[in-house]
Structure 1
Amino acid sequence: MEGALMRKLLLQIHLWVSLLLGLFIVVICTTGSLLVIENDVEKWIHPQLYQPTPGHASLLDVQQSVEQAFSGFKMDRIELSTEDGLYQVRLSKDVNGKASTQNVYVDPGSAHVLGPVGPSRNVFFTKVLQIHRYLLAQDVFGKANASIVVGFMGIGLIIILATGAYLWWPGLRKFALGFRIIRNKGKLALNLGLHKTVGIVTIPFLLVFALTGTAYQLDKYVFGWLGMSTKTEAAASWSKTTKINGSPLSLDTIVQNAQERFPNLELVRVQLPTKPDQTYQLAMKEGYSPSGSSNVTVYEDPYTGEILGKTNPNAPMAFYSAWKRGLHFAVWGGEPVRIGSFLMGMMPLFLMITGMVIWQFKARARRRSKSSSRIKESPPATMVPSMSSAE
């Protein structure tokens, strides 16, 4: 009896959370799927931006090339390790007290600027990203509050997935029946079978996306309540230099120093100082990185080349951040994982459609049942025989 009551309660929770938040959750998941394949779409639309030439130009040549191409801008970041074999460079300049940035692809062989990163993102993918992160509510609530709203949508998805798994569970003896799709007993049975089967298959993947996505939006608040920070541990002195003297060392020299000091680490990205007292920050990859990218940061003095510090990839927060990024953005398994993640992210749309069909069929059945009950409860009018005048 208690099991039946629990099942009825969870069914109502599953139904009403889905009805109230389902559309928003589907939008978030669908836009997330589109972002997973953004780079593949860009390669298809703009193949000329993904054709590097052989060789390796010096980083100084790259810096001079991009700064000449964009007058007034200064290179402040360069990503060296990309799956395309291209460099991605970010330039910035101050415009009325606000930072204006420009991201471009650079050919590592010739140091030529190939074009802006994500050329069509201004039209389409920028809007997709805003929907995914803020549901376009950033101008109304502000980015921070909009992120919290999206985070609670993630909690709603977790509730839907957890209750759905409970409702699906048929028991060990009837486990195989949970994957049965009945095709010849009407649309209700068909949609019910599809909803349950597709739902239980996708729940593990969607649960990972929901948990990591919710963490991205809310973990800083949760850790803040616990007196913890989500930032990677690094001494404050590493990011500042007190040895300002003459001109800073060239970017090539800075990189060479770091690679000689850490020959087994792969250089991924360099953050250049934008102020005289700032240091270089070199993002590097040490061993296996679940994020598919860097997992340590090396801090280097721009005037002396002294290595000031290096973060620990096995520190709890660094380990947590790396796995959070790797699982949510599906960057750890190459193209097969990316394609699979795209398909899994589209499944909430399918589940919403089949769920709505099931809800409508059951609602119609309940209305027919109530109508039939009212007819049975109303007694028929008594037939009174008419008397003839002769009688």
Structure 2
Amino acid sequence: MTFKKISGKLHLWLGLASGLVVFVVSLTGAIFVFQDDIRDLTEPWRKVEVQATAPVLPSQLQAAALAKHPGIGAETTWVTYFGPERAATVFFTDKVGAPIQVYLNPYTGRVLHELDLRTHFFTIVQEIHMHLLLPEAVAKWVVGGGVSIFVLLLFTGLVLWWPKRKQERKQRFTIKWGARWRRVNYDLHNVLGFYAASIGLVLALSGLFMLYPWLLEPLVLAVDSGQPAPQEIMKTKLDTLQPATAVPQPLPDIVYRTARRLSPEHEMILLGPTGTGQDPAFCWTYQKALHYYHRDEYAFHPVSGQLLETRFHATKSAGTKLSDMNYDLHVGQILGFGGKIVAFLVSLICASLPVTGTIVWWGRRNKTRKKQPRLQAV
């Protein structure tokens, strides 16, 4: 059996096995690409009027957001400043386990809207995209396995697409719209699959990197020539035996002021939970709102507020910068709005491939069945 025939067998049976997963994951991914743009148009509480005054401190935002939720500790919340013209948010889990996101005016601390993410459309789409509404432990195998198979299908598909003769090349690059519908379907599967293969591979691999972060480590090492920079492998350690003096002001305020001072040009600031005092408090700043590539990172002592560690984007290795870029690559926004359009179209094509491929297989299967009675009659 030739290599091309082996590729054909693999492409057929692996495609049938993973088709439903690839269809759902690709379709929900296409919907999710423009979620920030759609939400900005449909959710007015995401935007605020820019004011000349400085934003209020995180402790004030936490107090306002938790006013209707007594018993929820401020130390368990995530606080995000999204930029001058955007509302700040406080995220936490309430007593019944519901994920709550509260939008506030960053200049006044006034609550603008409270959102239960369990019923939010794009949260549901994201959950389907990542877990197919399955338990996370099961979803990692189902989704991860389906997307991994899809990566292999892209390569076997290219093997099957590759023209044997020169006169076939033009046919492989164009769709014959005037032909019968079965031929059009065949061309849609082959031609669109070829054009979408490279971008589809990036989308699939970046998704797998989020699902299995350990897969990204060899790539990071390879980009860094096997020698990661010392600051990339440092782990923030907390000396619990060393006594620390508590500061009179809230820890989130200290973290925010320090991050704002050290990264003054960054629009977005994300403050993690301060916890119980056993682990460091973390903060991340981003150069552009809703973009997660250009990031500075900070770690603070949970009692004294002392700055323990910094990782500035400018000092990170090329491999770590590539790792930071992963989400923006996955949704296409690393290239701006045009990149989102490309990611959207390629995701739709990837969703169509299991459908057109199944139709090709079903047509050939029925064609073989029809031939058998004719041969028996002869």
Structure 2 unpaired stretches of 5+: 219-225, 227-231
Superposed displacement of residue 38, structure 1: 2.9
2:336 corresponds to 1:334: yes
Cα deviation digits, residues 40-61 of structure 1 (max 9, x gap): 4434443x32331332431143
Segment of structure 1 superposing worse, 335-344 or 122-131: 122-131
Contact 2:245 2:304 in 1 (8 A): no
Amino acid at match of 1:306: Q
Superposed displacement of residue 347, structure 1: 1.7
Q: Which residue of 2 aligns with 1:9?
A: 6
Superposed displacement of residue 291, structure 1: 6.0
Segment of structure 1 superposing worse, 153-162 or 108-117: 108-117
TM-score by length of 1: 0.78
Distance 1:325 1:374, change over 3 A: same
Q: RMSD across aligned C-alpha pairs, in angstroms?
A: 3.6
Contact 1:24 1:153 in 2 (8 A): yes
Distance 1:274 1:327, change over 3 A: same
User: Which SS does the other structure have where 2:276 is aligned?
Assistant: coil
Q: How does 1:73-222 map to 2 (within 5 A)?
A: 73-75=72-74, 76-81=77-82, 85-92=86-93, 95=95, 101-117=99-115, 122=119, 124-138=121-135, 143-170=136-163, 173=166, 174-220=168-214
Contact 1:299 1:310 in 2 (8 A): yes
How many residue pairs were aligned?
359
Distance 1:218 1:322, change over 3 A: same
Q: Which residue of 2 aligns with 1:295?
A: 295
1:21, 1:215 → 2: CA distance?
19
Amino acid at match of 2:351: L
Cα deviation digits, residues 278-316 of structure 1 (max 9, x gap): 443221247x99963453311234555532111364247
User: Which SS does the other structure have where 2:160 is aligned?
Assistant: helix
2:172, 2:158 → 1: CA distance?
11
TM-score by length of 2: 0.80
Amino acid at match of 2:296: V
1:222, 1:145 → 2: CA distance?
21
Superposed displacement of residue 261, structure 1: 4.1
For residue 17 of structure 2, the aligned residue among 10, 20, 25 is 20
Amino acid at match of 1:269: L
Q: Which residue of 2 aligns with 1:68?
A: 67
Distance 1:191 1:250, change over 3 A: closer
Q: Which residue of 2 aligns with 1:386?
A: none
Superposed displacement of residue 270, structure 1: 1.6
Distance 1:303 1:146, change over 3 A: closer
Superposed displacement of residue 363, structure 1: 2.4
Structure showing greater relative contact order (alpha-carbon pairs closer than 8 Å, 6 or more residues apart): 2
**% same residue:** 20
Superposed displacement of residue 87, structure 1: 1.2
Structure 1 or 2, whichever has the larger Rg, is: 1
2:41 corresponds to 1:51: no
Amino acid at match of 1:255: Y
Distance 1:171 1:249, change over 3 A: same
Distance 1:239 1:11, change over 3 A: farther
Contact 1:105 1:116 in 2 (8 A): yes
Structure 1 unpaired stretches of 5+: 377-391
User: Which SS does the other structure have where 1:237 is aligned?
Assistant: coil
